[in-house]
Amino acid sequence: MGGILSMGIQGNRGKLGPDPAKMFRRMARNDFPGGINIRDFVMGGVSMKRLHFIWATILGLLVAAGGSPLSWPAQQSAPGTVPVSTVVSVEAKHGKDIPVVSREDVRVLQGKNQLRVTDWVPLQGNQSGLELFVLIDDASSMSVASQLEDMRRFMNAQPSTTAIAVGYMQNGTVRMVQNFTKDHSQAGKALRMPLGSGAGGAGPYLSITDAIKRWPASNASHEIILISDGTDPLQPGPMDSYLDQAVEQAQRTGTQIYAIYASHAGHFGHTLWRISQGQNNLSQLTDETGGEAYFQGFETPIAFAPFLDQIADRLNHQYKLTFLAIPDKKPSYQHVKLETELPNAELVTADKVYVPAAK
């Protein structure tokens, strides 16, 4: 209670009304309405009826001083909240000048509730620990091979604090060809031509789920660059439970996914409705995990470099946001909205965040 009383007093300094300090000096001199003896109160010699009167009087005096002793400071969540962290990318709404965003510039809304922001860490310098997983669909057209040099240049340009892994997706799993390493040249050497139609085609989403589940635990932020056409032969319609599982697993672990469209080998790579559905899937996957999907028509891009440059720009303007969310009785995926009044700044994160159950 002492902390609440102190907060109520400090919050009313400089306002018109009774001086709380004088009120408590009167209590100490026993010069107080109702004949309350503050020494009796402290020593415990007070009846329950008089104790209720004391507290009612104290609260009434604090309210009379112009404030509410039970009000929370700005952005303070109610008791019972749980900390939640997510990676946020800052983009420029117009042009290429991306503003620097501070903690005070960020608001987090959960429904109508404004949540308390407890941390906002720029993922740069010593804080830029990143684990970047390059996942290539092994059923992609062999034309992807001509883009591997762009990918190697991108890898070599990453900060020395970034660890890179390379895997090829086959039949719903991931065949690792390079575990996470900060030797970016070594990671680049692991890149090879896709196998094409000989790799089989279970779709990328089971493989993404498999990759995230097998990802070693660490404090680094997790990001995926996916090279695929996004089609899922196992569930070719508009509803894909494997896609939903991949999104849920990424949101559960805070993994952001970026995708570059690359044509499927063989007949699937020339079927218009499959191409359209695949690109829609990639858009959903990346948008709901806080990433971005990149296309150049219905074909494998002539060059990956422009898209990789955009991804690099996103990675260079990221922050780790921690806030206090209002939990449900069970673990849940909850939508939160980020806002900032900074001109030309847009905050991008996953569509939903994983919120542990209330304790």
Task: Report which of 349, 344, 343, 341 is spatially closest to residue 105, judged by C-alpha positions.
Answer: 341
Question: So what's the pLDDT on residue 227?
Answer: 95
Instruction: Give residue 98's pLDDT.
Output: 92
One DSSP character per residue, 295-338 reads: --TTS--S-SHHHHHHHHHHHTTEEEEEEEE---SS-EEE--EE
Amino acid residing at 207: S
pLDDT value at position 72? 36
Query: Could you say which residues of the chain have pLDDT below 70?
Result: 1-79, 197-202, 236-237, 265-273, 298
- The confidence score (pLDDT) of residue 275 equals 79
pLDDT at res. 142: 83
Q: What is the pLDDT of residue 237?
A: 67
What local confidence, expressed as pLDDT, does residue 296 receive?
Answer: 81
What top-level class would CATH report for the domain 125-315? alpha beta
3-state secondary structure of 177: strand
Q: Provide the pLDDT for residue 200.
A: 61
Six-digit token pair at 269?
Answer: 């790579």
Q: Which residues pair with 154 in a beta bridge?
A: none
